[in-house]
């Protein structure tokens, strides 16, 4: 093997947001690595559903969907109003043709 081209393999402490800590070997440059989820708190391993919202993503998504629904309902009302006017105009034209 060539000298000084391979990364150093050292022990690294992995810390989860739930408080669990694991020590493992790694070639990362850090001595500590923080993660949001691990096997102690992941729903696949625990069988419990847990909502993990780190930066307000759920709130952003809910707001975005609410805005989209409001926009869609306005478009439906606008189209319905436009069709009502067209129907009224058609009936008025039918009445004048007789």
Q: Which residue has the tokens 């930066």?
A: 55
Evaluate whether 33 touches 26 at the Cβ level (below 8 Å): yes
Q: Are residues 39 and 66 in the same domain?
A: no
What's the pLDDT score for residue 14? 93
State which H helix or E strand residue 44 sits in: helix 43-46
- For residue 39, what are its two tokens? 């096997």
Total number of domains constituting the chain: 2
**Residue 29 DSSP one-character state:** S
What's the pLDDT score for residue 94? 61
What range defines the domain where residue 75 resides? 53-98
Query: pTM for the full model?
Result: 0.44
pLDDT tens for the chain, 98 residues long, are: 688 888 889 999 999 988 999 999 999 888 899 988 888 888 777 777 766 666 777 888 889 999 998 888 877 776 666 666 666 666 666 655 54
Q: Are residues 2 and 48 in the same domain?
A: yes
State which H helix or E strand residue 70 sits in: helix 57-97
Q: Are residues 20 and 43 in the same domain?
A: yes
Q: Are residues 41 and 87 in the same domain?
A: no
Q: Are residues 48 and 60 in the same domain?
A: no
Q: Are residues 33 and 48 in the same domain?
A: yes
Q: Are residues 33 and 20 in the same domain?
A: yes
SS3 9: coil
């Amino acid at each position: 093997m060539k000298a000084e081209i391979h990364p150093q393999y050292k022990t690294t402490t992995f810390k989860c947001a739930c408080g669990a800590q694991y020590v493992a070997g790694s070639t990362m440059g850090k001595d500590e690595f923080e993660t949001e989820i691990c096997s102690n708190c992941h729903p696949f391993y625990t069988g419990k559903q847990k909502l993990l919202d780190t930066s307000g993503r759920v709130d952003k998504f809910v707001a975005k969907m609410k805005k989209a629904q409001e926009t869609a309902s306005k478009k439906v009302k606008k189209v319905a109003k436009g069709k009502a006017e067209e129907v009224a105009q058609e009936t008025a034209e039918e009445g004048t043709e007789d």
